[in-house]
Amino acid sequence: MYSTQFWIFFTISFFCLFATISCFTATLLDRPSIQQRNVFMTSGIVIFYIIGHILHFTATGEYSLLLSAKFEYTANLCLLAGIYNSLAGFYRTAPNRILISAVRAMPIPFIMMISMASNKTSFWVFNLFFKNFSVKSGANGLCELVFEHSPALYCYMVLSAIYALLIIGTFINNYVSSTKKERSLIIRMFMRLIPFLAVTIHFAFTEYKRPLAPVVPAVLFAATALCAYLVHKEKFRNLYDLSFFAVVDSLYDPLFVTDTNFFVRNANTAAKILFPEYHKANYRNQIQIAPELKEILSQAVYTMDAKNVRIASREFCPEPHRIERDGILYGYILVLNDVTEQSNRFMQLEHKNLQLSVDYKEIENDLLATRSKIVGGLIQYALEQDSYNGEHMRRTSNYTAILARQLQAAGKYAGTITNEYKTILCQVVPLHDAGKIILTAQNQSKLQDSNKEAGQEAYHSPEHVNAGAKLIDRLFVNDQNDLFFTLAKDVALYHHEWWDGSGYPKGLKGEEIPLGARIVALANEFDSLTVKRPPTVPFSFAEAYTTILSQSGIQFDPEIVEAFKLARKEFLDMYNQVTKSK
């Protein structure tokens, strides 16, 4: 009859074998990943080891004992290569090609073992571990092998111990240096290596006759069942990965998958065409990302923004994505969106816009020239009809230019008075009295009447400002966004408004009066004071200067009066030129 320990091992082996085979079948149907195959292979080797141990308990002769020993030792030898490959995948190291080939050839030793089981001494794996052996009956009636250890056995035990220490040390180091969110992942990775540790410990103690059953077999069962579960669970993730890359591979735009160190782990077909060196990129062949891509990716990752780049005569817009799960960063996805056609179309539009800007500038220049001709024509017409009004328009324009320059230099009304504003304001100033040109003959006779009171009444009549505004509406396009039209109408209509609200035609007060009209109002008044129609005697410069200052805050904007004070010398020079020309 078999012992209790045998039945424990038998039950453990049955369930482990069933779970492993079912998971292996399921993963084969879904094209398992390399990591899944490694986990399965490790679990399968553990199963063979347990089977060998069961045969040891049921052995009735030398043949059975040798077969069980071959199962155990061959499983241990293959486990070393298998666990190396698993570690390479888990800890992102490039495995040696020789050991990869050894892992892929692991089924061969088992076939050799079974085919040579009838030969007691010819199996080379077994002979590496022991020199001489014999069979004797134990105290419990079971057969036992008595053998002399070979140096290879000690080397194997030392190598297994080093491997176990490396696994435990790597786990502790990664666990301590990781964040709280990363630790669960590291623990799951470490659990997959427990079968190797369990087999190594059990093998060492049973060979040196240290009874550990049934504790170690129970640990072995739990570890193997856990690996089988992880394989089965990972099956669904792998199916998702396959479907994900099936879609990604069909994308027209290049796509790269990198780890946190910017090593390319995978790339779609478009990326491999653009960069042929990434054809072999996978978890084994970790290829450092191209320098230009690394610069793009690192800039995009840290700033989440990247400029377009040109690669192989095409233009791409980098689009980075972080690969995260449960707060843990695993790597990045870099998509290079091909924007060559969009960029070319944009360049064409830019060229067309530039051409339109040139055309618009030409039209604008033509418009300004036309407007200048209109203004010049009005001045010439005014000179022919009334030389006083014609010269008054020119002088007022010059005084306005002095005030506008002084206001800009002093930083007053900085948001309004620009170079363009100054230029256009000086162009439209001659239109401030344009209404007088179209006054009726009756009004003209009043302005030219020798009777002072009648002339002044006609001169200050609101009729000429309204008439001027109507004339501007007829001469120019009524566009409120056109600075020329706006200033021309403001100056013509409001240059007789007073700061205190007592002016005409609407009685506007303070800053309700447009700025252009406020500037022209002072320039207009200064010229009207210093140049009079005969026989009226004009003011001297000092008298006109004092009069203007006295009207600060009453008739004129105090800021503009202040600019007038600062520009006193320029006004005096202009006044002297006007006086000498008469």
Sorted by sequence, the CB contacts under 8 Å of residue 193 that are 6+ apart come out as 83, 86, 87, 90, 167
pLDDT at 222 over 90: no
Residue type, 63: Y
CA atoms within 13 A on the CB side of 232: 13
Following DSSP, what letter does each residue of 176-187 receive, concatenated?
HHS-HHHHHHHH
- Top-confidence residue, 162 or 507: 507
Residue 340's pLDDT band, with cuts at 50, 70 and 90, is confident
Tell me if 28 sits within 8 A of 212, measured CB to CB.
no
**Tokens standing for residue 287:** 């290829």
Residue 301's pLDDT band, with cuts at 50, 70 and 90, is low
Q: pLDDT tens across 449-476, in order?
A: 544 444 444 445 677 888 888 888 877 7
pLDDT at 519 over 70: yes
Q: pLDDT tens across 419-446, in order?
A: 989 999 998 888 887 777 766 444 555 5
pLDDT at 254 over 90: no
- Top-confidence residue, 3 or 349: 349
Q: How far apart are the first and last CA of the chain?
A: 145
Burial (0-12, 13-18, 19+ Cβ within 10 Å), 72: buried
- Top-confidence residue, 334 or 125: 334
Following DSSP, what letter does each residue of 187-212 receive, concatenated?
HHHHHTTHHHHHHHHHHHHHHTT---
Q: pLDDT tens across 15-53, in order?
A: 655 555 555 555 555 555 555 566 666 666 777 777 777
Residues above pLDDT 90, as percent of the chain: 17
**Angle between the 62-90 and 151-177 helix axes, to the nearest 10 degrees?**
30
Residue 6's pLDDT band, with cuts at 50, 70 and 90, is low
pLDDT at 528 over 60: yes
CA atoms within 13 A on the CB side of 209: 3
- Top-confidence residue, 397 or 345: 397
Predicted TM-score of the model (pTM): 0.43
pLDDT at 95 over 70: no
Sorted by sequence, the CB contacts under 8 Å of residue 11 that are 6+ apart come out as none
pLDDT at 546 over 70: yes
pLDDT at 404 over 90: yes
Pairwise CA distance, residues 521 & 497, whole Å: 8
Tell me if 495 sits within 8 A of 521, measured CB to CB.
yes
Q: pLDDT tens across 354-390, in order?
A: 888 888 888 777 777 777 777 766 666 655 566 677 7
Q: What's the chain's average pLDDT?
A: 72
Pairwise CA distance, residues 390 & 493, whole Å: 18
Number of neighbouring beta carbons within 10 Å of residue 220: 27
SS (H, E, C) 298-354: HHHHHHCCCCCEEECCEEEEEEEEEEEECCEEEEEEEEEEECHHHHHHHHHHHHHHH
Tell me if 296 sits within 8 A of 334, measured CB to CB.
yes
So what's the pLDDT on residue 456? 47
So what's the pLDDT on residue 507? 93
So what's the pLDDT on residue 434? 77
Secondary structure element (H or E) that encloses residue 401, with its range: helix 387-409
Pairwise CA distance, residues 412 & 415, whole Å: 8
For residue 267, the SS3 value is strand
- Top-confidence residue, 541 or 65: 541
So what's the pLDDT on residue 213? 47
So what's the pLDDT on residue 452? 46
Secondary structure element (H or E) that encloses residue 257, with its range: strand 255-259
Q: Which domains does the chain have, with CATH numbers?
A: 4-117+127-236 (1.20.1070.10), 241-345 (3.30.450.20), 386-581 (1.10.3210.10)
pLDDT at 543 over 90: yes
Q: pLDDT tens across 148-205, in order?
A: 767 766 776 776 677 677 767 777 777 777 666 566 666 666 665 666 666 666 666 6
Pairwise CA distance, residues 79 & 224, whole Å: 13
